[in-house]
Amino acid sequence: MSTRTRSIRTTFLAVALLGAAACSAEIGAGADYDYTPDAGFVPEPVDTEVCDEAVAITFEQRQVTPDIMLVLDKSGSMGQALVDGSNTSKWDVMRTATASIVSNNGDKVNFGLMMFPWTSNCNNGQVRVAPALNNVGGILAEMNSIGPGGRTPTHQSLEQARAYFNSNPVNADGRIVILATDGLPVCSTIGESVTAIQSLQQLDIKTYVLGFGFGNADVSGLQQMASAGGTGQIYSADSPNELNLALDSILGDVTVPSCEFELQETPANADDINVTINGVELVRNDPNGWSYDEPTNTISLDGASCESVQSGGTSGIEVDLGCEGTIVD
């Protein structure tokens, strides 16, 4: 691997001074000699590459729009009050939180909805709303159309979610399942649910497990499911506020900024592109630098450069055209 750069400077040759030095050498030491350059003398530039006209290129960050399937438990226990003495059921709280998360993120996430059981007892869940942008109305209409009832066919519903994803085009921006439940599987075992989640993971589909209204109940079974889902932890909520925070946390993990930027003008020579973050030049084709895809006129930040953008935004990114940057061959 080699690195090549091009110097960005202009140097002038002071012919007068060189001439003075030459004349001084001919006269010899100790001689008096006055040298005055001709009137109007202008030093001639050395024949080196000039790069002082770099111009900024505008760019547009590509939006990441993953598919998220909300797999919501609507078993009979979801009809119970979240807090003793309250007239608000867990299903009511879940519906309100779902409306909020879909409304706030519906322009950048394709939300879909599955509810289980459908329609009672141990019938597996069904996809009631296909993943799409800005579909809070459809999701709320479905949640309002049916109330809690039946048991908890968790693994059967997860298998149904896998079948749905498997029969539809893969979204390159990601496919996610959020399983929200107030109880452990009843119509199957924890082991079967773990296997179903592992099958989703084999399709590169993460499963986020959200335990809602468990209180002090044993959640070790949910932890097994979360570990299989690729997230490593369960999300727990025992109040409306905690439910909103848990869903916000999941969405924050899923909806990371894109590291791809479409240039708004096409460079004549890709070697003349420079990319900097907060004034630091990035190296093209370096694992932690950037790369350029000519067919799409897109630059992609890689490795540590991408991570810095995902954690801090794009305010410090600059793309200039006109000077060759550092390139790894």
161-166 mean pLDDT: 98
Give the pLDDT confidence score for residue 236 in this predicted structure.
94
pLDDT (0 to 100) of residue 312: 74
pLDDT at 257: 86
Residue 190 neighbours by CB distance under 10 Å: 17
* Greater model confidence, 4 or 74: 74
43 within 8 A of 4, measured Cβ to Cβ: no
* Predicted pLDDT at 53: 60
Using a 10 angstrom Cβ sphere, with 0-12 exposed, 13-18 middle and 19 or more buried, the burial of residue 70 is buried
- Rounded to two decimals, the pTM is 0.77
> Residues of the chain with pLDDT > 90: what percent?
64
206-262 pLDDT tens trace: 999 999 998 878 899 999 999 999 998 999 999 999 999 999 999 999 988 899 999
d(CA 80, CA 53): 69
Mean pLDDT of the chain: 84
Q: With CA atoms as reference, report the closest residue to 129 among 67, 62, 183.
A: 67
* Whether 246 contacts 235, CB under 8 Å: yes
d(CA 102, CA 249): 14
User: Residue 103: in which H helix or E strand, if any?
Assistant: helix 90-105
What 8-state DSSP symbol labels residue 125?
A: P
Tens of pLDDT, residues 83-101: 887 889 999 999 999 999 9
Contacts of 152 (CB under 8 A, 6+ apart): 73, 75, 116, 117, 181, 183, 184, 185, 186, 187
Radius of gyration of the chain (CA): 32
Domains annotated on the chain, with CATH = 12-45 (no CATH), 55-62+258-328 (no CATH), 67-254 (3.40.50.410)
Chain segment 1-51, per-residue pLDDT in tens: 444 443 333 232 232 333 333 333 343 444 443 434 445 444 444 343 445
Mean pLDDT of 147-169: 96
pLDDT digits over 61-71, tens only?
Answer: 888 999 999 99
Tokens of 206: 């993460």
Beta strands in the chain (DSSP E): 3-4, 12-13, 44-45, 55-56, 59-61, 67-73, 110-116, 126-132, 175-181, 205-212, 234-237, 260-263, 273-277, 280-281, 290-293, 298-301, 317-321, 327-328
The Cα 74–Cα 253 span in angstroms is 25
For residues 188-192, average pLDDT: 94
Give the CA diameter of the chain: 113
Distance CA 197, CA 158 (A): 7
Per-residue model confidence as pLDDT tens digits over 95-129: 999 999 999 999 999 999 999 999 878 999 999 99
The confidence score (pLDDT) of residue 19 equals 38
Instruction: Yes or no: say if 97 and 238 are a contact pair by the CB < 8 Å rule.
Output: no
- Cα 222 to Cα 255: distance, rounded to the nearest angstrom: 23
Closest alpha carbon to 6 in 229, 323, 259: 323
